[in-house]
């Protein structure tokens, strides 16, 4: 995830004002009357985990915030991304004039009528529970992963994504 600094600042501001992240709101104290972990570091940790598969123990070494806190934050961040951010940024064309906008590159390439390209994106799960390890171990990666089928145009505009499923459910 390469996010311009201004966009990252906007994201942190949104997270700071969103109710699900109130445990890490600036100025909040935890049950032991200690200052809450900085939401800026937790947001960077979440993006690094999603983008590079960084483990929680590595994040703890980098930020001095516990693995447990990073894990709790990431769960809420994923929920936020799959609801709030998904609704804001993922737009499937609903009429022909909207579809025409996305068909330009395909028409120029000799593929008129195509709206998007679709492919599976695998997100590696390093800390998968043993009980579900088998179903998440795909034959392509040989690692546990979740698969998302993403449809986008060639300007990196996401038009659709599945909610995600164990990697063995894909390409069988």
Using CA atoms, how far apart are residues 90 and 102, in angstroms rounded to an integer?
A: 13
Q: Is the pLDDT of residue 10 over 90?
A: yes
Q: Is the pLDDT of residue 12 over 50?
A: yes
pLDDT category, 94, cuts 50, 70, 90? Answer: confident
Q: Mean pLDDT over residues 69-86, rounded?
A: 91
Residue 141 — pLDDT band, cuts 50, 70, 90? low
Q: Over the chain, what is the mean pLDDT? A: 83
pLDDT tens digits for range 160-172: 888 877 877 765 4
What does pTM read for this prediction?
0.63
- 5-17 and 39-52 helices, crossing angle to 10°: 120
Q: Do residues 103 and 157 lie in contact, with contact meaning Cβ atoms separated by under 8 Å?
A: no
Say how far apart CA 131 and CA 166 lie, in whole Å: 13
Name which of 15, 3, 2 is nearest 73 in CA terms: 15
């Amino acid at each position: 995830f390469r996010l311009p600094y201004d966009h990252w600042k906007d994201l942190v501001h949104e997270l700071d004002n969103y109710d699900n992240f109130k445990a890490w709101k600036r100025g909040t104290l935890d049950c032991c009357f200690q200052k809450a972990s900085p939401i800026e570091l937790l947001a960077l940790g979440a993006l690094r985990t999603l983008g590079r598969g960084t483990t929680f123990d590595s994040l703890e070494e980098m930020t001095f915030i516990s693995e447990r806190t990073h894990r709790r934050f990431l769960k809420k961040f994923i929920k936020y991304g799959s609801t709030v951010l998904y609704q804001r940024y993922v737009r499937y064309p609903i009429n022909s004039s909207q579809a025409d906008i996305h068909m330009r590159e395909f028409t120029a390439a000799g593929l008129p009528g195509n709206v998007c390209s679709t492919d599976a994106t695998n997100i590696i799960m390093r800390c998968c529970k043993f009980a579900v390890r088998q179903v998440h171990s795909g034959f392509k990666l040989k690692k546990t992963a979740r698969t998302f089928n993403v449809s986008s145009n060639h300007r990196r505009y996401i038009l659709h994504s599945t909610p995600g499923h164990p990697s063995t459910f894909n390409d069988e």
